[in-house]
Amino acid sequence: MDNNPILRIATKILFAPIILFGLYVQFHGDFGPGGGFQAGVIVASAFILYAIVFGLEKGKELFPLSINLFLLALGGILYGGVGIASMMLGDEFLSYNVLGSSQQAGQHIGILLVEFGVGLTVSNVMIALFYAFASFESSNGEKK
């Protein structure tokens, strides 16, 4: 698919707006519809689109598997870390009130970080699954 000029140009034009929209959904989830799950899927779709159009090798050059797997684990750790941080500060697990100067500020910080953790894990699981399926060799040895 990498020699079709329309697909290549359209992908290059669309890539940044998709990421931007993903970030908007991620960090605007407090005020409108959206949140970590949706944003993670949107960001993942940008990288998957790139890998489909330009080929898996180019996709892995843009977003290497090692970074992918690292961020995949980091999302869950970030979520759990927020919980443990609030425990360290003297409240219960995942109780965000102590994270900020006031109760509302603490809740804001906690929700933002937690949603970011969800987004990281979801987007990187999706990208990792696509990489795994696309580079998977079937039992008769033929490659997709």
For another protein, what does the binding mask look like between residues 94 and 133, x meaning CB under 8 A? x-x------xx--xx-xx--xx-xx--xx-xxx-xxx-xx
Structure tokens at 36: 């970590």
3: contact with another protein by CB under 8 A: no
Return the amino acid letter for 27: F
Cα torsion angle, 94, 96, 97, 98, sign:
positive
Using alpha carbons only, what angle is made at residue 86 by residues 101 and 119, rounded to the nearest 5 degrees? 95
CA atoms of 138 and 143, how far apart (whole Å): 7
Structure tokens at 123: 């987007």
134: contact with another protein by CB under 8 A: yes
133 secondary structure, DSSP code: H
For another protein, what does the binding mask look like between residues 7 and 46, x meaning CB under 8 A? ------------------x---xxxxxxx-xx--xx-xx-
Return the amino acid letter for 29: G
Site for another protein in 53-92 (CB under 8 A): 72-73, 75-76, 79-80, 83
**In the complex, which residues of this chain contact another protein (CB under 8 A)?**
25, 29-35, 37-38, 41-42, 44-45, 48, 52, 72-73, 75-76, 79-80, 83, 94, 96, 103-104, 107-108, 110-111, 114-115, 117-118, 121-122, 124-126, 128-130, 132-134, 136-139, 141, 144
